[in-house]
């Protein structure tokens, strides 16, 4: 059952289950795809689901660029850490935090848009983009498609912007590879932290960190099955160790300013 896989715990149970929950619980990242093309009808359905996500004040401050051209996917893959599955996937969606649309609206109306210069508005753009993209992931899964998010498009945001002809006041937030999963891929449902580590009732309780050590062992066991190593804690500490571990993203604030999102 997917709930036991989700927590890596054979005793885990869920008293409520429906088709939507089943799709969500079975989510895993897919990095190997069959060559079948993703049709426009499927793309339209995925974007419709994305547009059905909540959006702050109905601002709808996101856009998405659908990339199918093999040469462009290859260039994007090179900019995003050389991840070959980006080029292999039949469809690569680049999700864009888009304040440019509102800026152009203000220019047309001849009115100021000073609130767009503040960090709150930039954060709103990224949140709206993430909510929409997660809806797209669930929609794709419901169609039998696999996906994987690619944060590495933020490694070189200005080069990504040039490749996709993004207008001022926009930035690529992340990518999403989409395709029919290759059934031979050696991958599974990666266990998450137990709910007792993340679910707090009424007030935050740091004593919940006691559940991290057992989870580290659970994830070590999972990783061993797929020829991987390391515990979750090791991964967190290594990934957040400092600027050198951020693949250039430590300069994101200054990059955003150059792209027209000053975020003051």
List the chain pLDDT tens, one digit each, 264 residues.
Answer: 689 999 999 999 999 999 999 999 999 999 999 999 999 999 999 999 999 999 999 999 999 999 999 999 999 999 999 999 999 999 999 999 999 999 999 999 999 999 999 999 999 999 999 999 999 999 999 999 999 999 999 999 999 999 999 999 999 999 999 999 999 999 999 999 999 999 999 999 999 999 999 999 999 999 999 988 889 999 999 999 999 999 999 999 999 999 999 999
Give the per-residue pLDDT at 126.
98
Structure-token pair, residue 182:
């290759």
What is the arrangement of strands in the sheet containing 91-98, beginning at the earlier edge strand?
62-67, 91-98, 170-179, 146-150
> What angle, 0 to 180 degrees and rounded to 10, lies between the N-to-C axes of helices 119-142 and 40-51?
130
What is the dotted CATH code of the domain comprising 31-185?
3.40.109.10
Q: Are 127 and 134 in contact (CB under 8 A)?
A: no
Q: Which two tokens stand for residue 161?
A: 């912007």
Closest residue by Cα to residue 249 from 164, 177, 166, 172 = 172
Which is nearest to 256 in space by CA: 77, 148, 57, 96? 96
Residue with tokens 């070590």: 220
Radius of gyration of the chain (CA): 20
Q: Report the pLDDT value the prediction gives residue 1, as an integer from 0 to 100.
A: 64
Q: Are 192 and 7 in contact (CB under 8 A)?
A: yes
The two structure tokens encoding residue 146 = 């696999």
Confidence (pLDDT) at 2? 87
- Rounded Cα gap, residues 24 and 142, in angstroms: 9
Quote the CA–CA distance of 130 and 232 in Å, as a whole number: 23
């Amino acid at each position: 059952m997917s709930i036991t896989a989700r927590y890596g715990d054979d005793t885990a149970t869920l008293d409520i289950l429906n088709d939507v929950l089943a799709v969500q619980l079975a989510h895993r990242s897919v990095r190997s795809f069959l060559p079948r093309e993703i049709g426009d009808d499927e793309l339209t359905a995925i974007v419709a689901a994305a547009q059905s996500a909540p959006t702050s004040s109905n601002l709808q401050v996101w856009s998405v660029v659908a990339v199918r051209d093999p040469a462009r996917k290859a260039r994007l893959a090179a900019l995003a850490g050389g991840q070959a599955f980006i080029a292999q996937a039949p469809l690569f969606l680049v999700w864009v935090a888009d304040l440019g649309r509102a800026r152009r609206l203000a220019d047309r109306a001849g009115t100021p848009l000073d609130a767009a210069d503040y960090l709150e508005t930039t954060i709103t753009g990224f949140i709206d983009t993430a909510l929409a993209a997660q809806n797209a992931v669930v929609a794709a899964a419901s169609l039998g498609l696999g996906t994987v998010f690619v944060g590495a498009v933020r490694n070189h945001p200005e080069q990504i912007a040039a490749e996709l002809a993004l207008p001022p006041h926009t930035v690529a937030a992340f990518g999403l590879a989409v395709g029919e999963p290759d059934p031979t891929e050696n991958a599974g449902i990666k266990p998450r932290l137990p709910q007792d580590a993340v679910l707090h009732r009424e007030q935050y309780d740091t004593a919940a960190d006691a559940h991290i050590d057992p989870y580290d062992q659970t994830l070590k066991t999972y990783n061993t099955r797929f020829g991987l190593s390391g515990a979750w804690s090791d991964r967190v500490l290594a990934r957040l160790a400092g600027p050198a571990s951020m693949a250039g993203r430590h300069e994101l604030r200054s990059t955003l300013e150059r792209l027209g999102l000053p975020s003051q």
